[in-house]
Copies of this chain bind each other. A is one copy, B any other.
Amino acid sequence: MNQNSKRYDGDTWSKLEEIREIVIHSIASNIDLYGVPHSIGRLYGTMYFHNEPMTLDEMRDALGMSKTSMSTGVRSLLDIKMVNKTYQKGVRKDLYRVEEDWYNSFFYLFSSKWGRAVRQNERQIRKAKEMLEELLEETSDPSLTEIIERDLGKMEHALEYYDWLKRLIKSFETEEIFRFIPKQSPKQPSGHSHASSQESEAN
A contacts, CB < 8 Å to B? 3, 6, 8-9, 12-13, 15-16, 19-20, 22-23, 25-27, 29-30, 33, 48-49, 51, 100, 102-103, 106, 113-114, 117, 120-121, 124-125, 127-128, 131-132, 135, 138-139, 141, 143-144, 147-148, 150-151, 154-155, 157-158, 160-161, 163-165, 167-168, 171, 176-177, 179-181, 183-185, 194-195, 197
The reply to whether A195 and B183 contact each other, CB–CB distance below 8 Å, is no
Kindly list chain B residues whose C-beta atoms are within 8 Å of the C-beta of A150: 51
Query: Which residue of chain B is the closest to A144 with respect to CB atoms?
Result: B8
For residue A124, which residue of chain B has the nearest CB?
B26
Q: How far is the CA of A141 from the CA of B12 in the complex (A)?
A: 10
Residues of B within 8 A of A30 (CB): 117, 120-121
Which chain B residues border A103 with CB–CB below 8 Å?
161, 164
A130 to B185 Cα, complex, angstroms: 21
Q: How many copies of the chain does the oligomer comprise?
A: 2
CB distance from A121 to the nearest CB of B (A): 5
Known: A8-B141, A120-B30, A141-B12. A127 touches B167 (CB 8 A): no
